[in-house]
Amino acid sequence: MGPVLVVLAGFLIRTAYYDKNYGHPDETLTVEVVGHMRGSGDWDTNWAKAPGLESALRYDQYNFSSHLYATYFFYRAIKWVPGLEAWRSRNNGFWVYRFFVALLATVVVWQTWELGRRVAGDSAGLAAGALVAVVPLLVQDAHYLRPEAWVTALTMAAVMVGWPGERYRPGRVLGAALLLGGSLACKFSLLALAWLPLVPAVAAGWSGW
């Protein structure tokens, strides 16, 4: 019950203010690029193709691409859920996009609990999850339509997949590499974690020595 309450608390904190009228310049970027993808049927995330962006941002740029794709497909998935038409259409989908970020940030709370439990036991997992649920910076990231929650969730997933197990499985290396690639397709700075998918292979080599 403890982990469920921690994740639920994290979700409530992250969704409590997502529908308020505050803003960040990066939010316009996602709204305009994803809006162009929805309206034109063009899956190209090139910023230059979004006519609603201010001229300073309308240039050939693919930063945040995986986050933009994830937001686009989440919106498409929401269209299949009955009864959400009014919410989905408000502000051209803006609140759906923000809710997606809050949902991703909640997933990070669960990931932290699971990884902590796996590494150091149930109590450590619960403490780690509870801490992440209330850390102000992570809560703040969940309130804005920005890629931080997406990148954090993908990176945590890569760590979970790549965490060494009792047996070496090449699939862990591949899975971690794919997840990290998704992060890299959002922010090039994630190249600094290029070593992460190799952890299972290195750990297997050490245990063999």
Instruction: Verify that 98 and 198 share a domain, yes or no.
Output: no
Instruction: Verify that 59 and 26 share a domain, yes or no.
Output: yes
Instruction: Verify that 8 and 98 share a domain, yes or no.
Output: yes
Instruction: Verify that 131 and 84 share a domain, yes or no.
Output: yes
Q: Quick one: DSSP state of residue 82?
A: T
46-60, 87-101, 108-122, 189-203, range with the lowest pLDDT? 189-203
Helices (H), 50-194: 65-78, 85-89, 94-120, 122-134, 136-142, 148-162, 170-184
Query: Using CB atoms within 10 A of its CB, is residue 112 exposed (0-12), middle (13-18) or buried (19+)?
Result: buried
Model confidence, pTM: 0.92
Is the CB of residue 180 less than 8 Å from the CB of residue 197?
A: yes
Residues spanned by the domain of 64: 1-146
Instruction: Indicate whether 167 pLDDT > 50.
Output: yes
Helices (H) and strands (E) in the chain, counts: 10, 0
Last residue of a domain, one of 93, 116, 146: 146
Instruction: Verify that 27 and 120 share a domain, yes or no.
Output: yes
Our count of domains for the chain comes to 2
Is the CB of residue 113 less than 8 Å from the CB of residue 127?
A: no
pLDDT mean over 137-153: 94
